Amino acid sequence: MTVPDRQSHWQTVYLTKNEQEVSWSQADPQPSLRLIESVAATPRASIIDIGGGASRLVDTLLRNGFDAVTVLDLSEAALRTASERIGPAANTVRWIAADATVWQPPQPFDIWHDRAAFHFLVEERDRSAYLERLHRGVRPGGHAIIGTFALDGPEKCSGLPVQRYDPASLSQAIGKAFEPIAHQYHRHVTPWGSTQSFQFSVLRRK
């Protein structure tokens, strides 16, 4: 899938569906929040949420005192939804409408969070492009928190194929520049009550 095709797909999703009509919706952004707080040295830690869309993670990070938050997503509509929901505090967030495979990190971050964006990159060239940005976008000693469908998770999401991982295969895909330090399996319950198996890996930039 080309970058324009990805952008068109996700823009359409967020323009035509509300929060309760997408499988990835979470009222409580766990385990992402817990994992971020476990590696954030202080609330001043710089955090980027890759593929954050209209997720409520940014709301919760702001309420918990984090003040250096960036959200990147393909869909301008998703970012607008999140920004309008948050209100005036949204002015403290850096909102970036871009594809993570072509975007250039302006600086390395302390924490790179990605819940269910990387697993959509099923072509090697897209994964390689993403990983180039990941390696530049996390400072030495910083952390990447990446959540994907687990091996027993769905084979598709939003009509698109995904690449499923366990902690070992994800670590191998990310590469030797990152050391795996923790992982967690998670059963996500969709708004209509079905369950999806995720795995979250925490990796430290060497």
CA gap 22, 73 in Å, rounded:
16
Residue 186, strand partner residues: 198
pLDDT at position 56 over 90: yes
Give CA torsion, residues 70, 144, 23, 6, to 10 deg. 70
* Alpha-carbon separation of residue 198 from 36, 99, 112 (angstroms): 17, 23, 18
pTM to 2 decimal places: 0.96
Q: What does the alpha-carbon distance between residue 80 and residue 95 come to, in Å, rounded to a whole number?
A: 9
Residue 1: predicted pLDDT: 79
What radius of gyration, in Å, describes the C-alpha atoms of the chain? 16
Q: Is pLDDT above 90 for 11?
A: no
Query: Mean pLDDT for the chain?
Result: 96
Mark out the alpha helices in the chain (DSSP H runs). Answer: 3-16, 32-39, 57-63, 76-86, 124-137, 167-174
Residue 65 confidence (pLDDT): 97
Domain that residue 145 falls in: 3-205
State the total domains in the chain.
Answer: 1
Q: What is the mean pLDDT of residues 67-92?
A: 96
pLDDT at 4 over 90: no
The tens digit of pLDDT for each residue in 155-182 reads 999 999 999 999 999 999 999 999 999 9
**Contacting residues for 52 by C-beta, under 8 A, at least 6 apart:** 58, 71, 72, 73, 78, 79, 82, 113
pLDDT at res. 9: 87
Structure confidence at residue 6 as a pLDDT band (50, 70, 90):
confident
pLDDT at 10: 86
Which CATH number covers residue 52? 3.40.50.150
At 20, the pLDDT band (50, 70, 90 cuts) reads confident
Out of 15-19, 175-179, 189-193, least confident range: 15-19
